Structure 1
Amino acid sequence: MLVFLSILPILAIFFFLVIMRWSAKKGMFYSFIITILVAFFGWQMGAVEITAASIKGVMTALEVGVIVFGAVLLLNVLKESGAVDTIRASFTSISPDRRVQAIIVAWLFGTFLEGAAGWGAPATVVGPLLIALGFPALAAVMIALMLQSAPVSYGAVGTPILVGVNTSLENQPVVNSFLDGESMELSSFIFNVGGQVSIFHAMVGLFIPLFMSAMLTRFFGKNKSFLEGLKVWPFAIFAGLSFVIPFSLTANFLGPEFPSLLGGLVGLAIVIPLARKGFLMPKDTFDFEPRESWDESWISDMKSEPRAPKDISMFKAWLPYILVALLLVVTRIEGLGLNALLSGWEVAFDDILGTGIEHSLSPLMIPGVVFIVVAILTGWIHKLDMGGLGDAFKVSGKTILSAMAALIVSVPLVQVFINSGVNSSGLESMPLVLAQAAANLFGDSWPLISPTIGALGAFAAGSNTVSNMMFGLFQFGVADEISANPLIIVSLQAVGGAAGNMICVHNVVAASAAVGMIGKEGTIIAKLLIPTAFYLVFAGGLGFVWINGFGLNAGSIIVLIVLVVIVGFILRSYKKIDVNTNE
């Protein structure tokens, strides 16, 4: 009964959001009510404790809201000034091959945007950009959503790790016991999780550009062939490496704020100049059939012709994101002194309502503050008039109000869920009760399942951050129950939560709306189940090997099968295309 009650909040989210297709605002509100009832009657959690946990959740939601607002504000300022048009125009002259365009725009530019903005915003920018390049709308949204994978764990400058994982694990007895045994601070554990997550993402995400190309040719090419897309594998793997190497190095040496942002920026700087020179370009050129022959389901009302860029130079167009990257780096490196100065002003709640539930934050260290400052500076640098700047603030305000309507109930729900151990019944918290049941059911095979749990959380809640909040402690508890390294299991949670963003309802709806494809969400999700399944299976196999070693075990078999299938399809693509084209 306890296991059933502890999973009831999660089942409620699935029922209201996935089955009933309610909005996140409405579905999460009713799920929150159910969570409160379970906590009060099932766990005998007092009204004061529930209120304290909810207050902590509201404060966390407001912190996330500042990040989202700042990121979206900068993007809207760039749209108003014409800088986004300048960036878009620069992509059209690199290569006529649609596979190459998809990889550069979605994988490299999109991952950079994910690191800077997060919260599904990159897909809403990349989709219209691909349409402007001449892609069918359905293809544009599919490719745009595929970028919501490897970079997502570090979206909005590390929010899923720094806020999601940290919030789930802080001040939890089972976590504190482990940290004491390792003589480690939670901040160090979180830093190490960020590094490990990047390693898993690097191994799996390396192949996402190849998947983008293969999916594009399979569903939107004349020959309807995966193999046609795989022919571009040298460039796809090169583009993958150009992102994941700086991405992983950044995560392990600088921290979770910068991997996607700097990885995308470095990748763009490496790949674009070489692509212009023809480096690793495919011998054949893939293009879509004439527009009049496209299936009606591919087309939206959005115009395919880009607007003429305003008088914004390429340097000025990219300068705001360069400033964001620089400011975030210099304010996070302790040796430079700014970190101590800005983090010196801390707002701390050590004992909310006398319950022992804690929360603290340094307002000036919230990444959203950097975005807001840079957005205002950008208005001046780009000579944007007050009307344009005002419009950017208005649009961003509407966006954040919409997002906060869901966050303001989602995050308190998660806080009641994970703080349910503060009760008068002596019961463990709901995530730990679930952890015990999962450990008994799956045992040592749990690493294979762990990423899927993270993906389910993101699919239901619409956010890797919220998924990590909800299941971080649950995953840690399972690791403790099966005597596995919690660093690896929690990292697999974050990896799965990122992969789940490819198919999460919130992102699919937002990206579809951005390209005028409302009503096709089911079709899009069905296609994206292919790369999502690849990501979760491969990550689970790698996690199992990481814990148990490479040998005759399930993880090793999965990893080998995945690699053999990829290599086999690449080799087959050469044979098939060589025969068909007499190359």
Structure 2
Amino acid sequence: MLELSLSFFPVLLLIYLMTKKQAVASHIALPVIAALTYVILWLAFSESLLLLNATVVHGLLKSLTPILIIGGAIFLFKTLEATGGLAVIKAELNQVSDKPVAQLMIIGWAFPFLIEGASGFGTPAAIAAPILVGLGYPPLKVAILALIMNSVPVSFGAVGTPTWFGFSALGLSHSEQLEIGFRSALVHGVVGLLIPLLALKQLLSWQSIRRNLVFIQLSLVSTLLPYVIIARFNFEFPALVAGAIGLLCTVSLAKHQIGMANDENLDPSAYSVSDDSTAANHDSAEQQAKYLIPAATKIRLYNLTRAAFPIWGTLLFLVISRIPDLGLKALLTSTAPLVALPVGYLGDFAVSQSLVLNLNNIFGTAESWQHNTLYIPSILPFIFISLLALLWQDKNLKGFASVLSFTCTRMKRPTLALFGALIFVGLMMTGGANSPVSLMGQSLAQISGDSWTLFAPFLGALGSFFSGSATISNLTFGAIQQSIALESSLDQYSILALQSVGGALGNMVCINNIVAVCSVLGLNNSEGSILRKTALPMFIYALLAGLLGLLIL
């Protein structure tokens, strides 16, 4: 009983610290809880210090993957802003349609869907929200819409990171991860036809939504159908490719006004935008002038292509590098040894010809680590494409220092949070059948029985809420969900799929994302108001996901 209580204690304490009135930030709470878990395992579970220390080192090294992905994504989109590309893209999107429903579905739904597939980690809401505010929509409601909309694609955000990396500690085969991805996409595909309507309600009346329902549903289906189909065969590209298809289809539908009411144009006077909320979103006229030359269509097209290069260059590289038949994937992931460097008691370190890093036998234990330096989306393509974009704009890298400084500043807290999260997850799984995770799973399975399917998405959402990431949610609670499924004789792939769905929908209430959007839009002291407005859609999404789990999974 004591070990069971101590197994739950770090998780419950972490939830309390991050949800209490004066919440403790994740970059503080997670390392503290990791240290507490270390002590508990040492004193109460009698785990050897050697194994615990090896687990800590393994967690620190493993955290490099999400840290580099997040840092690369921030670097890329800061480059897009610094080169004026974001201003040009905004201007082009504004010209597609002046109808609110069209603008909201293009910029609030399809565009962030695509960006989520490429980068993830809260970037889509931070990119889409300023564009919508620039069109004249109220910042607070835009923030809520952006958070609700950016939930469906998250299970496959950042080229599938929440799926392939989030469940990497469970020892699943490629085919098993593929099955989990497809089932999560199936749930998202069904619920995704309804939840965006709740987001649109923030800015449109129900009457307006009903009048434009055909257009809205066509836009949703054009994104969700390829999303589900692609997930059947791949867990890296569903959001990225489906977002691109949905964006093209939605733009085409808007241009031809298919399924839209004819008398609902944008009336800027209908919205009141404060100076504070828009101050951060004014784009430099000089930046736009670099690219937009209305008198010459060909030149304008060239400059638009140059402005959007960080996006289309990244997407192109990701597609090419993820298709095995093209050969680049094998080149970037080759484990053929280049040099082996014994590092004493720490373990056996090796580097491959493709810069795949390996550290085996950490402190003489079975713990090992591998890092695909060139394959994870960071140096390639994020940093590389960003440098090319800076060179293309100014023929030099004078903007590099400011972009790098901004990225490093933004990465301080996420880095500490991820260090703590990965160490905490590793420690919770130490001990095999007697690990804290296994004990928690056995206990929850006995309490919930067959009804756990309904609760699985809520646990995933809770993970995203306090950790700020669907990937970390899957890392933290994936093993617990798997253990519950096995103890209750439930299908583990379905339960893990619902965990993935829960981790994605938890982005609606994720404190980190809410703070980020408020910061971008210049909203002060609005986090609580936004959280209250996004909590209900999150609850509805999780409940529908659990019901679908019972019915179709």
Same fold per superposition (TM over 0.5): yes
Distance 1:279 1:68 in 2: 38
Does the alignment pair 1:356 with 2:356?
Answer: no
Q: Which residue of 2 aligns with 1:406?
A: 417
TM-score by length of 2: 0.89
Q: Which residue of 2 aligns with 1:277?
A: 256
Aligned pair partner of 2:543 in 537, 557, 561: 537
Distance 2:56 2:541 in 1: 34
Q: Which residue of 1 aligns with 2:300?
A: none
CA positional deviation for 1:295: 9.4
CA positional deviation for 1:14: 1.4
Q: Which residue of 1 aligns with 2:294?
A: none
- Map 1:217-232 to 2 at 5 A: 217=204, 225-232=205-212
- Map 1:503-522 to 2 at 5 A: 503-522=509-528
Distance 2:167 2:522 in 1: 34
Q: Is the 8 A contact 1:451 1:540 kept in 2?
A: yes
Q: Which residue of 1 aligns with 2:114?
A: 112
- CA pair 310-202 structure 1, distance change in 2 beyond 3 A: farther
Q: Which residue of 2 aligns with 1:439?
A: 445
The residue type paired with residue 3 of structure 1 is L
Q: Which residue of 2 aligns with 1:321?
A: 311
Q: CA RMSD of the aligned region, Å?
A: 2.1
CA positional deviation for 1:402: 3.0
CA positional deviation for 1:408: 1.7
- Map 1:372-391 to 2 at 5 A: 372-383=383-394, 385-391=396-402
- Map 1:358-507 to 2 at 5 A: 358-369=368-379, 370-383=381-394, 385-418=396-429, 420-421=430-431, 428-507=434-513
Q: Which residue of 2 aligns with 1:14?
A: 15
- CA pair 249-324 structure 1, distance change in 2 beyond 3 A: farther
CA positional deviation for 1:508: 0.7
Distance 1:378 1:306 in 2: 18
Q: Is the 8 A contact 1:210 1:237 kept in 2?
A: no
Aligned to 2:358, what secondary structure does the other structure show?
A: strand
- CA pair 131-476 structure 1, distance change in 2 beyond 3 A: same
Aligned pair partner of 2:215 in 223, 227, 235: 235
Q: Is the 8 A contact 2:72 2:378 kept in 1?
A: yes
Greater mean deviation of Cα atoms: 92-101 or 483-492: 92-101
Q: Is the 8 A contact 2:437 2:480 kept in 1?
A: yes
CA positional deviation for 1:228: 3.7
Q: Is the 8 A contact 1:137 1:299 kept in 2?
A: no
CA positional deviation for 1:522: 0.7
Q: Is the 8 A contact 1:103 1:209 kept in 2?
A: no
Distance 2:502 2:512 in 1: 17
CA positional deviation for 1:42: 2.7
The residue type paired with residue 421 of structure 2 is S
CA positional deviation for 1:374: 1.3
Q: Is the 8 A contact 1:213 1:230 kept in 2?
A: no
Q: Deviations over 1:420-439 (max 9, x none)?
A: 225xxxx5221221111111
Distance 1:240 1:277 in 2: 17
Does the alignment pair 1:331 with 2:321?
Answer: yes
Aligned to 1:281, what secondary structure does the other structure show?
A: coil
CA positional deviation for 1:227: 4.2
Q: Deviations over 1:40-88 (max 9, x none)?
A: 2232222222211111111121111111111111111111111101110
CA positional deviation for 1:207: 2.5
- CA pair 14-226 structure 1, distance change in 2 beyond 3 A: farther
Q: Is the 8 A contact 1:134 1:305 kept in 2?
A: no
- CA pair 239-42 structure 1, distance change in 2 beyond 3 A: farther
Q: Is the 8 A contact 1:133 1:305 kept in 2?
A: no
Distance 2:265 2:14 in 1: 42
Distance 2:258 2:9 in 1: 54
Q: Is the 8 A contact 2:323 2:329 kept in 1?
A: yes
Q: Is the 8 A contact 2:121 2:469 kept in 1?
A: yes
Distance 1:523 1:375 in 2: 36
Distance 1:405 1:523 in 2: 27
Aligned to 1:387, what secondary structure does the other structure show?
A: coil
Distance 2:290 2:256 in 1: 27
Q: Is the 8 A contact 2:72 2:383 kept in 1?
A: yes
CA positional deviation for 1:94: 2.3
Q: Which residue of 1 aligns with 2:348?
A: none
Distance 1:138 1:73 in 2: 26
Q: Is the 8 A contact 2:137 2:272 kept in 1?
A: no
Q: Deviations over 1:531-577 (max 9, x none)?
A: 21121011111111124xxxxxxxxxxxxxxxxxxxxxxxxxxxxxx
Q: Is the 8 A contact 1:115 1:258 kept in 2?
A: yes
Q: Which residue of 1 aligns with 2:297?
A: none
Q: Is the 8 A contact 1:197 1:494 kept in 2?
A: yes
Distance 1:215 1:446 in 2: 32
The residue type paired with residue 218 of structure 2 is F
Q: Which residue of 2 aligns with 1:93?
A: 95
Q: Is the 8 A contact 1:503 1:528 kept in 2?
A: yes
Distance 1:489 1:310 in 2: 52
Q: Is the 8 A contact 1:349 1:358 kept in 2?
A: yes
Q: Is the 8 A contact 2:164 2:177 kept in 1?
A: yes
Distance 1:319 1:304 in 2: 21
CA positional deviation for 1:301: 5.6
Aligned to 1:86, what secondary structure does the other structure show?
A: helix
Aligned pair partner of 1:41 in 40, 43, 48: 43
Q: Which residue of 2 aligns with 1:209?
A: 196
Q: Deviations over 1:144-185 (max 9, x none)?
A: 111220111112111111111113x13xxxxxxxxxxxxxx6
Q: Which residue of 2 aligns with 1:197?
A: 184
Does the alignment pair 1:266 with 2:245?
Answer: yes
CA positional deviation for 1:335: 2.2
Q: Is the 8 A contact 1:102 1:212 kept in 2?
A: no
Q: Which residue of 1 aligns with 2:340?
A: none
Q: Which residue of 1 aligns with 2:138?
A: 136
Q: Deviations over 1:508-546 (max 9, x none)?
A: 111111111131111001111122112101111111112
CA positional deviation for 1:232: 2.3
Percent identity at matched positions?
A: 30
- CA pair 60-349 structure 1, distance change in 2 beyond 3 A: same
Q: Is the 8 A contact 1:80 1:389 kept in 2?
A: no
CA positional deviation for 1:305: 5.4
The residue type paired with residue 529 of structure 2 is T
Aligned to 2:91, what secondary structure does the other structure show?
A: helix
Q: Is the 8 A contact 2:137 2:273 kept in 1?
A: no
CA positional deviation for 1:31: 1.5
- CA pair 130-326 structure 1, distance change in 2 beyond 3 A: same
Unpaired segments ≥5 residues, structure 1? 171-184, 218-224, 548-583
TM-score by length of 1: 0.84
Distance 1:287 1:505 in 2: 32
Aligned to 2:167, what secondary structure does the other structure show?
A: helix
Distance 1:232 1:4 in 2: 53
Does the alignment pair 1:250 with 2:230?
Answer: yes
Distance 2:395 2:33 in 1: 43
CA positional deviation for 1:338: 1.8
CA positional deviation for 1:406: 1.6
- CA pair 307-132 structure 1, distance change in 2 beyond 3 A: farther
- CA pair 208-384 structure 1, distance change in 2 beyond 3 A: farther
Aligned to 1:190, what secondary structure does the other structure show?
A: helix
